[in-house]
Chains A and B, each alone.
Chain A
């Protein structure tokens, strides 16, 4: 064989490409059902207020209005994506906790009527003192956002591994730095949307969701239905990035409105609603203390963090644990202490955004490490090489890392970027910086406690063998998992990619999978798909063998041809054998399932951060700064990734580009801003500035090879990990350019201007 693999490792065209360039691709908001109503949620204008009364009578009288609901019409059972802290109601009962909290909903014949009806709902509020700062919120006299969390502390973490105090005492140099990460928002281009159809005892919900499974689980629980009576599915979804992982309220409210009216109800958010619902990245306050020896080898780290969680828990418990857990991955050290308070405030809830809790701590640590390197006179690449994790090692918090090519990635990024020629030698206003990143290839444990497998898959070969369909609960949110999983299926079956079809992200038609989050699908869904494909192949070779006069073990199948391994000239087609199988034995079906082996330690929170495999990346960026105005231009970027075996190189590099883009936005341009009363003042795409095509630099995406034993064919993740090095990398490049460190994200033009000015003032004063 000329190549090891026939289908994987190739940049085959996306399964959804045709539909998406012709406008045929339907998103939830494009679906039409007979008699469908449209609905919308009324939200709170106050950050903290008691609800005195709600009068829906005027809204109900408006012609075209079919139903108006409040907390009185829906279950009062609290929900939340984090099982540890169920603290959300479908509609607020006693009080509202942030500007945008859900109060009521309307279903009507058309959007115009919906907007008019919302204005007619009269809610009487008694405003309460509100708190918007996590440090103020922790004071004894602060108003309580949620009564059950004293001092508004929603999550408190204290972990201690090794002997940090001893190591610090013995260190040659100990440094403390403080950093701040800002609140950002995922900003998918498709607004959230859900269509609920409650028909007799069956509730069907089409939603722009990253996880039909979690939606199904929580929706069934909320309404007391067996999971089988709830079907959640998606069509195409216009991006998620973590913001579409948990039920939004559109599903709950839509379900009730559908039940009341007996009609399908399409619920939707406007852009402003999306910002208010939020669940974006937490603002995070990060104090890092690190002790190193005189060569810059890290001896101990203490991470002391506070997170502003907003009004509800959302995925915040996991975000809080992730913030500290993954700090131990890229660099080797034995002593580690992590303290965290996630605090409730009267702001929209924060959740998981690409990279979850990790990108900001990574920014902080990469900046901190550069500060240490500078103090010790060590080159930033060199200090990272001295500390880089190696394969087959275990972190102090008990994560096993089987493959890690960070050293190779650092060396390659250094060489590709011309680091040695540039560092310290760039003209005024230019700077170069390095950052590293890493991430889990799927979380070791699902979000709620269950013994369900992480992923499963079924492949059914068409009766005449001319096509095969993969059924997978995985979710393609644009990253291309449908394509990659079809490649994996075809490879395992010995089949052809072009003949693969996929039915995914449908709790009724596809077998269980937890969905698109934690960068899990290529490894986890892929493992199930591989097993299903191999089961097809085994059955097929058994049926094909007699006709070829050999035993099944002597056969293999590749690209739709079954052949004798010792003599490939003796062969027959996959299709022909598949047909024979069907005639003799019925449907040719393969099944696969993937369970994560038991991972992690026994301490509190040990589960968060566990994964079968970890990706690694080294990234170098060059920036140009206009010191007089503070304008930042990212000039060029080199990213080198260790993400295991690559199934589809084009899609992989596409993930790196997209992840970099998002990280770049967070580094310099993006921040959710509030007024003094807790209302977002830039809930739009004009003032919440996603970078445009004109802002994007040339990015060179490269790879180092590893084969991860815990992933099918050796795969690891790329989608989220590629965001993690960016902010630190850009921070270090800007610091190199202007000669001074800005410790809070985003590294906005104004902050760069101010820092440059202050540096000039200080240097001229010397």
Chain B
């Protein structure tokens, strides 16, 4: 396999391509096949197994990560589209050894049961709060409407996000 900087023109092909991006604050560089999804890249190459595949077709939201500030389905994003991007996954949410306010509130409000949707749900919530520190209930619902949860009936999740937003507004570190 030959290594290339990136496929800007004639040099394209099915060969592996160099991908450089920042994942959870760390610079990452790897050779990836063009058809690798961001989901597979994060799970297989970086072993970030908190990123879940629930459907693989952009409908459940379990694979949600934050790319350049936006919540996206990593299953419908090519890894190569993340060139130069900042990626945040659930593994990047904790500060040091402790839980962030958002994570803590999820636990406190029983905003999870089986937990399979939780990483994606947390990322949608994180992206929302980064954009809007004081969201109303409808805004929260809209932000997580692309994350299907089969267990909770969503209300505990809405309550957890509301509580986390309040704590963050009151100056608590994320």
Instruction: Give chain A interface residues in 253-283, CB to chain B under 8 Å.
Output: 270-271
B116 to chain A: which residues have CB within 8 Å? 27, 188-190, 236, 238-239, 478
B29 within 8 A of A: no
Instruction: Indicate if the CB atoms of A658 and B54 lie closer than 8 Å.
Output: no
B157 shortest CB reach to chain A, Å: 7
B147 to chain A: which residues have CB within 8 Å? 693
User: Is B155 a contact partner of A657 (Cβ separation < 8 A)?
Assistant: yes
Q: When the two chains form their complex, are residues A478 and B60 in contact, meaning their CB atoms are under 8 A apart? A: no
Q: What residues of chain A lie closer than 8 Å to B80, measured between beta carbons?
A: none
Say how far A718's CB is from chain B's closest CB, in angstroms. 13
| Least CB distance, B60 to chain A, in whole angstroms | 5
CB neighbours (8 Å) of A685 from chain B are 54-55, 57, 59-60, 148
Q: Is A477 an interface residue (CB 8 A)?
A: yes
**Chain A residues, Cβ within 8 Å of B118:** 20-21
Evaluate whether A693 and B113 lie within 8 angstroms (CB atoms) in the complex, with A18-B99, A18-B107, A658-B151 already known: no
Is there a chain B Cβ closer than 8 Å to A17's Cβ?
yes
A21 touches B150 (CB 8 A): no
Q: Are B107 and A189 in contact (CB under 8 A)?
A: no
Select the stretch in B3-11, B13-21, B45-53, B166-174 that faces chain A: B45-53
Query: Closest chain A residue to B119 by CB distance?
Result: A23
- Answer whether residue B145 sits at the interface, using C-beta atoms and an 8 A cutoff: yes
Residues of A contacting B53 with CB < 8 Å? 29, 191
CA distance A478 to B113 in the complex (A): 4
Q: Judging by beta carbons under 8 Å apart, are A23 and B155 in contact?
A: no
Size category of the A interface is 35 or more
CB neighbours (8 Å) of A699 from chain B are 153, 155
Q: Give Cα A686–Cα B153 distance, bound, in whole angstroms.
A: 18
- Which residues of chain B are within 8 angstroms of A190 by Cβ–Cβ distance? 52, 54, 114, 116
Cβ of B158 within 8 Å of any chain A Cβ, yes or no, is yes
A24 with B107, Cβ < 8 A, contacts A478-B115, A657-B155 known: no
Proximity bits, A730-747, B CB within 8 Å = 1, else 0: 000000000000000000
Hey, which chain B residues are within 8 Å of A17, CB to CB? 106-107, 112
Complex: chain A residue closest to B51, CB-CB: A23
Query: In whole angstroms, how far apart are the Cα atoms of A27 and B54 in the complex?
Result: 12
Minimum Cβ distance to chain A for residue B75 (Å): 11
A650 nearest in chain B by CB position: B110
For B100, give the chain A residue with the smallest CB separation. Answer: A21
Q: Which of A20, A477, A662 contacts B112 (CB 8 A)?
A: A20
Residues of B within 8 A of A696 (CB): 141, 153-155
B93 touches A22 (CB 8 A): yes
B residues in contact with A692, CB < 8 Å: 141, 145-146, 148, 154
B100-145, CB < 8 A from A: 103-104, 106-108, 110, 112-119, 122, 140-142, 144-145
B119 touches A478 (CB 8 A): no
Question: Do A693 and B150 have beta carbons less than 8 Å apart?
Answer: no
State whether the Cβ of B68 lies closer than 8 Å to any Cβ in chain A.
no
Indicate if A54 sits at the interface (CB-CB under 8 A).
no
On chain A, the residues within 8 Å of B52 by CB distance are: 27, 189-190, 238
Please give the distance in Å from B42's CB to the nearest CB on chain A: 11
Whose C-beta in chain A lies nearest to the C-beta of B57? A684
Judge whether A202 is part of the interface by a CB distance below 8 angstroms.
no
B103's partner among A21, A239, A270 (CB-CB below 8 A) is: A21
Query: Beta-carbon contacts of A683-726 to B below 8 Å, as 1s and 0s?
Result: 01110001011101011000000000000000000000000000
User: Does A238 lie within 8 Å of B99, measured CB to CB?
Assistant: no
B38 close to A (CB within 8 Å): no
Q: Is the CB of A690 within 8 A of B148?
A: yes
A271 and B54 form a contact (CB under 8 A): yes
Q: Quick one: closest A residue to B99, CB to CB?
A: A21
Q: How far does the Cβ of B13 sit from chain A's closest Cβ, in whole Å? A: 17
Contact A21 B107 (CB under 8 A): yes
**Interface: A118 (CB within 8 A):** no
Q: CB < 8 Å: which of A188, A271, A693 contacts B56?
A: A271
A133 within 8 Å of B by Cβ?
no
Q: Which residues of B contact A13 (CB under 8 A)?
A: 107-108
Q: CB-nearest residue of chain B relative to A685? A: B59
Cβ of B87 within 8 Å of any chain A Cβ, yes or no, is no
CB of A21 within 8 A of CB of B155, answer: no
Interface assignment of A98: CB less than 8 Å from any CB of chain B: no
Q: How near does chain A come to B96, taking the closest CB pair, in angstroms? A: 12
B145 with A694: CB separation less than 8 A:
yes
A693 contact from B48, B59, B119, B144, Cβ within 8 A = B144
Chain B residues with Cβ below 8 Å from A187 are 150
Nearest residue in A to B58 (C-beta to C-beta)?
A686
- Indicate if A612 sits at the interface (CB-CB under 8 A): no
Are the C-beta atoms of A238 and B114 separated by less than 8 Å? yes
Which residues in A have their C-beta under 8 angstroms from that of B55? 271, 684-685
Q: Is B90 an interface residue (CB 8 A)?
A: yes
Indicate the member of A11, A13, A23, A186 with the most B CB atoms within 10 Å: A23
CA gap between A23 and B47 in the complex, in Å: 11
Fill in one digit per residue for A653-671: 1 if any B CB lies within 8 Å of its CB, else 0. 0100110111000000000
Contacts of B93 in A (CB 8 A): 21-22
Complexed CA–CA distance, A24 and B155 (Å): 24
- Measured in the bound complex, the distance between the Cα atoms of B157 and A692 in whole Å is 12
Judge if A26 is at the interface, Cβ distance under 8 Å.
yes
Contact flag A693-B145 (CB < 8 Å), given A657-B155, A684-B55, A699-B153: yes
Q: Given B91, B94, B150, which contacts A239 in the complex, CB threshold below 8 Å?
A: B150
Contacts of B141 in A (CB 8 A): 692-694, 696
Q: How far is the CB of A397 from chain B (nearest CB, A)?
A: 32
Smallest CB separation, B23 vs chain A (Å): 13
Which residues from chain B contact A30 at a C-beta distance below 8 Å? 49
Task: Count chain B CB atoms within 10 A of each CB in A13, A270, A478 and give the residue with the most.
Answer: A478
Instruction: Decide yes or no whether B74 CB sits under 8 A from chain A.
Output: no
| B103 neighbours in A (Cβ, 8 Å) | 21-22
Q: Is A198 an interface residue (CB 8 A)?
A: no
Residue of B89, B91, B103 most packed against chain A (CB within 10 A) = B103
Do B119 and A654 have beta carbons less than 8 Å apart?
A: no
Residues on B with C-beta less than 8 A from A20 are 112, 115, 118
A479 within 8 A of B: yes
A339 proximal to B (CB < 8 A) = no
Q: What CA separation (Å) do A332 and B147 show in the bound complex?
A: 43
B residues whose Cβ falls under 8 Å from a Cβ of A: 48-57, 59-60, 62, 89-91, 93-94, 99, 103-104, 106-108, 110, 112-119, 122, 140-142, 144-158
Q: Can you list 24 A-B pairs, Cβ within 8 angstroms, ordered by A? A: A17-B107, A17-B112, A18-B99, A20-B115, A20-B118, A21-B118, A186-B150, A189-B150, A190-B116, A236-B115, A238-B117, A239-B113, A239-B116, A478-B112, A658-B152, A661-B150, A661-B154, A662-B150, A684-B59, A685-B54, A685-B55, A693-B140, A693-B149, A694-B145
Given pairs A188-B116, A238-B54, 17 additional interface contacts (CB within 8 A): A14-B110, A17-B112, A21-B122, A22-B94, A23-B51, A26-B49, A189-B116, A189-B149, A237-B114, A238-B116, A654-B113, A657-B155, A657-B156, A658-B153, A693-B147, A693-B149, A693-B158
Question: Which residues of A are at the interface with B, using a C-beta cutoff of 8 A?
Answer: 11, 13-14, 16-27, 29-30, 186-191, 236-239, 241, 270-271, 477-480, 650-651, 654, 657-658, 660-662, 684-686, 690, 692-694, 696, 698-699
